[in-house]
Amino acid sequence: MLQRCRRENIKIYTMPKKAGAKSAKAGQPVKAKKRINKAKPVKISSEPKAKSSRRFSRLRGMRDVLPEEYKYWDLVIKKATELARAYDFKTVKTPILESLELYNKSTGKDTDIVAKEMYSFIDKNGDKVALRPELTPSLVRAYIEHGMFNLPQPVKFFTLGPIFRHEKPQAGRYRQSYQFDIEIFGEENPVADFLIILIAYNFFRELQIDVQIQINNIGCQECRPEYIQKLVEYYKARGNRSKLCNDCKKRFTRNPLRLLDCKEAGCLELREEAPQVVDYLCDNCREYFIKVLEYLDELDIPYSLNPYLVRGLDYYNRTVFEVWPIEEEENETSISQQGALGGGGRYDGLVEHMGGRPTPACGLAIGVERTILKIKEKNIPLKKDTANLIFIAQLGDQARRKVIIIFEELRRAGYRVRQAFTKNSLKAQLEEANRIGAKFSLILGQKEVMDETILIRDMDSGIQEVVDFKKARAEIDKRLANGD
């Protein structure tokens, strides 16, 4: 029977159609076709080819996170989740794959992220799709698609997941990286901008990373056009345009604001004399900016005004900010050159632009890998959570049978119990108990099984006590409660 066949032995025969068998209409003569497909058995084998020596490596710019590093991920994910909960952000997960058009329209098809770095392709249906290069567009799509404007506003989202950018890989810059992201929809009060900056600041401070917020206000639809015009005039004057780098020459026509955040030496020199956006803000934007800064002052959050900060995306208006690590070198503090740890801002027009109702919004994204690099670089010790760990060890197979039951009972009852069932040697098991920082070990050997007792070994002093099996649970509770 088919079900009983072992997979490697199944042979599938592809039978050739009999000439004209299906296409023949009743009563019509059928011309015999040449037989093309001869029946050939196709063997499906689960065995790897014996001689194949190909070893696969991960793709360039992609990383494996191994257990040693995952300890840091655990810490960062816990902190992000804890803060998101504390400020009442609701967790959402959106797909990694979205339509290409989503990013063309929101992030902007002329931005570096979309034009140069996005992984996009045509899927099997012929649809143009993309691996998300940032998280905000998916969250905006979800907000609109699920009619969340009908919910009490603001709607506050928290998400954490991978993004993909085909960048030149280097330390802290990968082709798949993870972001902790929060967004607030339906709130125009500047206290919302302050709140997301506060969360970013708390995130790093509580992970013991010193940061500074760089902040700017890039105006709104009312005041920005005038500023852009002044900027363009400045770059046109005195042949400045010809001194721009090749990328900026293109930016000049597509997105002149981006001339301000170019890192090329020549462009940096040119921008020193360029007009600054704060001087062209309308009253509303200026007032808004001052409010955000006042809130930051209230909590002494360190910030610096950066008139060149524009962020590269199309959708931002008013507040834009980035979080930068502060380096301490021989009594001097400076801003790291390695890159921002996070960034965000306000995007009041995006929801409407993407087909939703007019909805003010703001958000933030923090890079998980860069945060971890900082924690490692600063040798910030990870706290080991070894509180109340119990180890259970066995000697001999009869004891092992009993120990697997005791382990499950204790674990289900909520005890923090650990084991090494696969090990036979008691010495190796106790080494493991020491390694994980167990408070005490429960040891069961042949003799204990016969006597219905169990040994309790204090891992610090090495003192062992024989306890009647029926009284073991009470003794465990007593030791845990005493902190012995």
Closer of 118 and 365 to ligand AMP (Cβ): 365
Closer of 336 and 453 to ligand AMP (Cβ): 336
List 174, 185, 201, 234, residue binding ligand AMP (CB under 6 A): 174
List 107, 177, 212, 306, residue binding ligand AMP (CB under 6 A): 177
Indicate the burial class of 329 (C-beta count within 10 angstroms; 0-12, 13-18, 19 or more). Answer: exposed
Residues touching ligand AMP, count (CB under 6 A): 16
Residue 340: CB minimum distance to ligand AMP, A: 4
Contact 305, 321 (CB under 8 A): no
213 binds ligand AMP (CB under 6 A): no
Residue 188: CB minimum distance to ligand AMP, A: 22
List 98, 112, 134, 187, residue binding ligand AMP (CB under 6 A): 134
Residue 425: CB minimum distance to ligand AMP, A: 44
List 110, 167, 188, 210, residue binding ligand AMP (CB under 6 A): 167
What gap in Å lies between CA 380 and CA 382, rounded to an integer?
6
Amino acid at 328: E
Helix crossing, 368-377 with 67-86: angle to 10°? Answer: 110
- The residue whose Cβ lies closest to ligand AMP is 367
Residue 103: CB minimum distance to ligand AMP, A: 12
Q: Report 222-241 residues binding ligand AMP (CB under 6 A).
A: none
Q: Virtual CA dihedral for 302, 308, 311, 314, nearest 10 degrees?
A: 140
> Considering only CA atoms, which of 336, 333, 358, 337 is closest in space to residue 348?
358
Residue 451: CB minimum distance to ligand AMP, A: 59
255's enclosing H/E stretch is none
Residue 324: CB minimum distance to ligand AMP, A: 9
SS3 breakdown of the chain: % helix, strand, coil, rounded to 5? 40, 20, 40
Given the rule CB under 6 A, which of 5-13, 172-180, 203-211, 476-484 is the region that contacts ligand AMP?
172-180
Given the rule CB under 6 A, which of 75-83, 169-177, 327-335, 404-412 is the region that contacts ligand AMP?
169-177
Q: Which residue blocks in 91-148 are alpha helix, DSSP H?
A: 100-103, 112, 136-145
List 138, 179, 214, 429, residue binding ligand AMP (CB under 6 A): 179
What DSSP string describes 144-160? HHTTGGGSSSPEEEEEE
What DSSP string describes 359-388? --EEEEEEEHHHHHHHHHHTTPPPPP--TT
What gap in Å lies between CA 119 and CA 470, rounded to an integer?
62
What gap in Å lies between CA 188 and CA 441, rounded to an integer?
57
Contact 86, 133 (CB under 8 A): no
Closer of 109 and 173 to ligand AMP (Cβ): 173
Residues in the chain: 484
Residue 458: CB minimum distance to ligand AMP, A: 46
What gap in Å lies between CA 104 and CA 352, rounded to an integer?
15
> b or e along 458-467 (b: 16 or more beta carbons within 10 Å of the residue's beta carbon)?
ebeeeeeeeb
Residue 171: CB minimum distance to ligand AMP, A: 9
Closer of 311 and 400 to ligand AMP (Cβ): 311
Residue 336: CB minimum distance to ligand AMP, A: 11
Closer of 105 and 439 to ligand AMP (Cβ): 105
Residue 424: CB minimum distance to ligand AMP, A: 45
173 binds ligand AMP (CB under 6 A): yes
What gap in Å lies between CA 304 and CA 313, rounded to an integer?
21
Q: Report 416-455 residues binding ligand AMP (CB under 6 A).
A: none
Measured CA to CA in angstroms, residue 59 lies from 121, 123, 341, 386 at distances of 17, 20, 24, 37
Q: Report 324-343 residues binding ligand AMP (CB under 6 A).
A: 340-343
132 binds ligand AMP (CB under 6 A): no
Closer of 277 and 313 to ligand AMP (Cβ): 313
Here's the x/- map for ligand AMP, 349-388, by CB under 6 A: it reads as ----------------x-x-xx------------------
Binding site for ligand AMP (CB under 6 A): 134, 165, 167, 172-174, 177, 179, 340-343, 365, 367, 369-370
